[in-house]
């Protein structure tokens, strides 16, 4: 059975957590031992092991990055596509801030399930996208309060 419907529920809950800042609402979507690999240089990425660490990372990155912008728009570019217990997609993000150019980038995400819970989440960026994000942050990060 495809994991796409469960992924869609998770994605909707994630966006609600972004709005409400209630990250505990995502806990039922992750196994206690879930892991997340965010393929970005520190302090924006890294490997996070365990549901508690994942949820803390989500809050930290939203507060320290996403919320520093006036808006955040997500775009589905390809997928989602189910491959056994894994859902794959390619997406884009666009951030806007007054007096600053937009920041846009693409990434691939894979979400691996065990039953109805996520056991591994991975976001991957190609080298050009990482370089674009780093250049933007060097030029505009301090003005946005992004360390």
Q: What is the mean pLDDT of residues 108-120?
A: 98
pLDDT score of 119 more than 90: yes
Residue 86 has pLDDT above 90, yes or no: yes
Asked whether 59 and 21 are in contact (CB, 8 A), the reply is: yes
pLDDT band at 124 (very low <50, low <70, confident <90, very high): very high
Mean pLDDT (the chain) is 97
Phi, psi of 116 (to 5 degrees): -100, 5
pTM greater than 0.85: yes
Cα dihedral value 137, 139, 145, 146, nearest 10: 10
pLDDT tens for 47-65 read: 999 999 999 999 999 999 9
Tally Cβ neighbours within 10 Å of residue 3: 21
Contacts 24+ apart (CB under 8 A), 1-9: 2/82, 3/82, 3/85, 3/86, 3/87, 3/111, 3/113, 4/80, 4/82, 4/87, 6/113, 6/116, 7/80, 7/87, 7/111, 7/113, 8/80
Largest CA distance in the chain: 47
Q: Which of the four pLDDT bands, split at 50, 70 and 90, describes residue 147?
A: confident
């Amino acid at each position: 059975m495809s994991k796409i419907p469960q992924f869609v529920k998770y994605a909707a809950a994630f966006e609600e957590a972004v709005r409400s800042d209630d990250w505990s609402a995502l806990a039922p979507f992750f196994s206690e031992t879930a892991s997340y690999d965010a393929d970005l240089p520190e302090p924006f990425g890294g490997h996070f092991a365990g549901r508690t660490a994942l949820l803390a990372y989500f809050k930290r990155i939203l507060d320290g990055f996403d919320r520093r912008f006036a808006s955040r728009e997500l775009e589905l570019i390809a997928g989602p596509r189910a491959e056994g217990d894994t859902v794959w997609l390619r997406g884009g993000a666009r951030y806007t801030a007054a007096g600053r150019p937009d920041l846009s980038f693409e990434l691939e995400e894979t979400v691996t399930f065990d039953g109805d819970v996520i056991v591994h989440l991975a976001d991957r960026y190609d080298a050009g996208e990482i370089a674009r994000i780093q250049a933007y942050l060097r030029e505009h990060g301090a003005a946005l309060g992004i360390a």
